[in-house]
Structures are given as structure tokens and as C-alpha cells.
């Protein structure tokens, strides 16, 4: 019995020792896993740190915002634009270079100061044109600060001591901008001249660009600010506005002048890239004692005047004027004045609208139809023998155009 008790105690003691040994083993294993995990984290942190230090430009010290409207140009032929700061100095990271961007103007979004120099985050000066809200300047990536230099895009700018009077000649060749094109990071058209051709306008400021182009800042007679337009004789006539009917027609005592103006609705209220689709065409009719039309003056869709003389219901003479209301072409050709007369620039017909006048026989209720053949549409003024006038602006569905409400 005594020996059996001794044996049982020995077995219990052995089991207890083994159990303790097992617990210590599990704790040791757990401790070993914890150390391994910590070691892994330390290794990852070291790798991350080494990536930051491996930038070719060195450690980034500061990043500052810049005014993107301050203009810069490339200063040498070795300029390269990189997709990101990590790509600086690599071939695969180049997105553009001097050859591709020659002559372009740039702005700076950010200035990055790093351990190995200063770098700029660049944008390229651009224009939205008629689509002023649909675009932004192109992002040009990053470039060395030493590869670009300041460019004075405005040579001089001044405000007039007394505002200067103007009115519109050609409404198609130039538009009104928020700022002269490519003189700030993003320029766009703010207004068109379609409905301003019968108004007195004033210039209050002028500037000269680095390309020696002159621009003036326009406002209406009531003081509404419009924007900048290229100062061209083709577009602006200096002086007080003159009604073309009074300027180009002499009405005798026994005659009566009747003025007809196209409604806004019938223009379609659209703006063309090449033409003044929303311009309200006009017709001035000189009626004699017998209530017959003796002369007509038509202001077409492109704002050019056409004057036609009639005798006994037949056209006997036609005069076509320039945008500045100077006589351009004249004809008394009987055959043409019984059928069709075309006034166009033979050497520039692709960029300037042509005027087609069609004449009708005395048996027809129509007297004449004056058509403006344009690029974004067409305009027609149909004059009847009884003095009625019909205006048409068409072809708008076949071309790309914009709502006039965006540019009025």
C-alpha cells in the first residue's frame, strides 16, 4: 500500500511538472510570434523612409501656391516636363519637351523647394473660346525652375482720361474677351457683337501685348462692362454711332422712309463661331407718292449695307458697301438686275460672307430678296412690292452654334 501511494504521488508530480512545462512552451511560442511581427513593421517603415529619400530632387522642404496668371516661357532648348516629382530625371516620366511646346506660354500652380533645387508645377496658358465653362488650362507637370523665365505678356496698359466713342463695323471677325487671348492662364469670350451693332460703345482702357497687338476695353453707353476686343479698323469705327438709314439714304419731301427690323425670336437666338446669327437684320424702304418702293437699304446678317434703286417696279442700280459703310461695288447691268447679282470677295470668298440679290418680275408680289450666304447659317430679307418685309435666319441645325443668352 505504501509503495502504491508513493507511485501515485510520483505520477501526479510528474504530470504537474509536464503541465507547467507545456504552458511555458506556449508562452514562449507566443512571445516569438510577437517579436517577428514587430520586426516586420520596423522593416516596412525603413523601406518607406528609403523611398522618400530616394527622390531625385531630394527631400521636399516646402510647397507654396503661386499665381498661375503670371506668365513664363521656356529659357533653353533642354527643357523637359515631368509627370510627377518622382519621375524627375527619368525618361519614362517625360510628358513633353521644348520642341513640342515651343512658343507656348505657361503659368505656375505650385513652387516646390527640395533638397536639390526648386521645381515648378506648371500649366499652359489656354483659351476656351465660346466654351468658357468647359475647359481648364492643360496641366504640364513639373519642371526645373531654371528652365523657365518670366515673360511680360503685357507691354503697357493704361486708362483713358476721357473715354473714346466707337461703333461696330464687322461683328464677325472679332469677339469680346474676359482678357486678351493668352495674356492670362485661361481666356474666353464673354460677349458677341450680334446685338451691339446699333449701339454706341465706349473704350475706357487700352493695352499692348508682347506681340504688339492693341486691345481696348469696351462698355455700353449706359456703363455696362463688356470686356476686351482687338483694336482693328475692320471691327471698330471711331466716333458717334450713325444710323445707316440716315447716313446712306436721302429722303425727299414727297417720300416716306419706313424701317423694318427683324424680331429677336426669328433670328433663332443662336451664336455662330464664324457669323453673327443673332444680328437683327433691317430694311429701310423709301416709298414714293404712288406708294411704290423707289429705294431700299438692307442691312444683312453680317452688318453690311446693300442699296437698290427701283424705277417702275424694276431694279435699275445696286450698291454694295463695306463694313465701314464705304462704297465697295456698284452695278447698273440690266441683265443682272433682272435676275441675280452677287457681291463677293473673289480672292477671299472662304472667309467673308457673300451677298446674293435676287430680283423678281413685275408680275410677282416679291420685289427683291437679299441673301447673306455665310458659314454657320444664312440670312434673308424678302421685300414685297406693297412694302411688307420678311426676315429669315436659317441653316442653324446644320452647324454647331451656341445660345445667345450666354453671350449677350
Each residue's pLDDT tens digit, 111-124: 999 999 999 999 99
Residue 283 has pLDDT above 90, yes or no: yes
Residue 17 binned pLDDT confidence (cut-offs 50, 70, 90): very low
Q: Give every CB contact of residue 176 below 8 A, 6+ residues apart in sequence.
A: 189, 190, 191, 192, 193, 218, 226, 227, 228, 229
* pLDDT higher than 70, residue 342: yes
Q: How many residues does the chain have?
A: 408
Average confidence score pLDDT of the chain:
87
Q: What is the pLDDT of residue 169?
A: 97
How many C-beta atoms lie closer than 10 Å to residue 203's C-beta? 20
Q: What is the pLDDT of residue 54?
A: 67
Helix (H) or strand (E) holding 100, with range, is: helix 98-101
Q: What is the pLDDT of residues 249-260, one digit of tens each?
A: 999 999 999 999
pLDDT at 134: 60
What value does the mean pLDDT take over residues 202-218?
98
- Please count the other Cβ atoms lying within 10 Å of the Cβ belonging to residue 323: 21
* Phi then psi dihedrals of residue 221, to 5 deg: -65, -25
Read off the pLDDT band of 135 (50, 70, 90): low
Give the pLDDT confidence score for residue 136 in this predicted structure.
74
Could you report the per-residue pLDDT of 53-76, keeping only the tens digit for each? Answer: 468 899 999 999 999 999 999 999
Quote the CA–CA distance of 47 and 67 in Å, as a whole number: 36
Question: What gap in Å lies between CA 122 and CA 111, rounded to an integer?
Answer: 9
The pLDDT, as a whole number, for residue 350 is 58
Q: Could you give the CA distance from residue 216 to residue 203 in angstroms, rounded to a whole number?
A: 6
- Residue 1: pLDDT above 50? no
Range scoring the smallest mean pLDDT among 21-35, 86-100, 342-356: 21-35
Distance CA 100, CA 81 (A): 10
- Going by pLDDT thresholds of 50, 70 and 90, the confidence category of residue 345 is confident
* pLDDT band, residue 48 (cuts 50/70/90): very low
Q: Residue 150 has what pLDDT?
A: 97
Q: What is the pLDDT of residue 396?
A: 87
218-239: pLDDT as tens digits: 999 999 999 999 999 999 999 9
pLDDT band, residue 340 (cuts 50/70/90): very high
Place of cell 441683265: 335
- Percent of the chain with pLDDT strictly greater than 90: 79
Three-class SS of 192-205:
CCCCCCCCCEEEEE
Residue 287's DSSP bridge partners are 256, 293
What percent of the chain clears pLDDT 70, i.e. is strictly above it? 85
Whether pLDDT at 28 is above 70: no
Catalogue all structural domains in the chain, each as residue range(s) with its CATH number.
60-150 (2.30.30), 154-238 (2.30.30.170), 244-406 (no CATH)
For 303-320, write each residue's pLDDT tens digit.
Answer: 999 999 999 999 999 999
Amino acid at each position: 500500500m505504501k509503495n502504491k501511494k508513493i507511485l501515485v504521488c510520483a505520477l501526479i508530480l510528474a504530470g504537474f511538472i509536464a503541465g507547467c512545462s507545456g504552458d511555458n512552451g506556449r508562452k514562449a511560442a507566443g512571445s516569438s510570434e510577437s517579436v517577428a511581427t514587430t520586426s516586420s513593421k520596423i522593416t516596412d517603415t525603413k523601406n518607406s523612409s528609403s523611398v522618400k529619400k530616394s527622390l531625385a530632387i531630394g527631400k521636399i522642404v516646402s510647397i507654396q501656391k503661386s499665381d498661375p496668371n503670371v506668365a513664363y516661357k521656356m529659357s533653353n532648348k533642354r527643357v523637359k516636363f515631368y509627370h510627377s516629382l518622382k519621375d524627375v530625371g527619368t525618361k519614362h516620366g517625360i510628358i513633353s519637351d521644348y520642341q513640342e511646346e515651343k512658343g507656348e506660354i505657361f503659368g505656375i500652380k505650385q513652387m516646390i523647394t527640395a533638397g536639390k533645387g526648386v521645381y515648378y508645377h506648371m500649366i499652359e496658358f489656354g483659351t476656351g473660346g465660346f466654351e468658357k465653362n468647359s475647359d481648364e488650362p492643360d496641366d504640364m507637370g513639373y519642371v526645373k525652375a531654371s528652365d523657365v523665365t518670366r515673360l511680360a505678356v503685357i507691354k503697357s496698359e493704361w486708362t483713358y482720361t476721357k473715354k473714346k466713342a466707337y461703333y461696330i463695323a464687322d461683328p464677325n471677325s472679332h469677339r469680346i474677351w474676359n482678357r486678351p487671348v493668352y495674356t492670362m492662364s485661361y481666356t474666353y469670350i464673354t460677349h458677341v457683337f450680334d446685338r451691339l451693332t446699333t449701339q454706341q460703345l465706349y473704350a475706357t482702357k487700352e493695352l499692348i501685348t508682347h506681340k504688339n497687338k492693341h486691345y481696348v476695353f469696351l462698355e455700353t453707353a449706359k456703363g455696362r462692362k463688356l470686356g476686351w476686343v482687338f483694336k482693328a479698323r475692320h471691327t471698330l469705327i471711331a466716333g458717334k454711332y450713325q444710323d445707316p438709314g440716315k447716313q446712306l439714304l436721302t429722303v425727299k419731301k414727297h417720300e416716306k422712309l419706313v424701317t423694318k427690323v427683324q424680331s429677336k425670336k426669328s433670328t433663332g437666338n443662336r451664336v455662330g463661331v464664324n457669323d453673327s446669327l443673332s444680328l437683327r437684320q433691317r430694311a429701310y424702304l423709301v416709298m414714293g407718292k404712288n406708294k411704290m418702293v423707289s429705294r431700299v437699304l438692307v442691312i444683312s446678317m453680317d452688318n453690311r449695307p446693300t442699296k437698290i434703286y427701283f424705277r417702275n417696279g424694276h431694279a435699275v442700280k445696286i450698291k454694295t458697301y463695306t463694313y465701314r459703310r464705304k462704297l465697295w461695288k456698284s452695278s447698273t447691268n440690266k441683265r443682272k438686275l433682272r435676275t441675280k447679282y452677287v457681291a463677293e470677295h473673289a480672292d477671299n470668298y472662304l472667309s467673308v460672307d457673300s451677298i446674293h440679290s435676287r430680283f423678281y418680275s413685275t408680275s410677282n408680289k416679291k420685289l427683291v430678296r437679299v441673301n447673306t450666304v455665310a458659314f454657320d447659317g444664312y440670312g434673308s430679307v424678302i421685300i414685297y412690292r406693297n412694302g411688307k418685309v420678311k426676315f429669315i435666319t436659317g441653316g442653324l441645325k446644320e452647324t454647331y452654334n451656341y445660345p445667345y443668352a450666354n453671350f449677350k
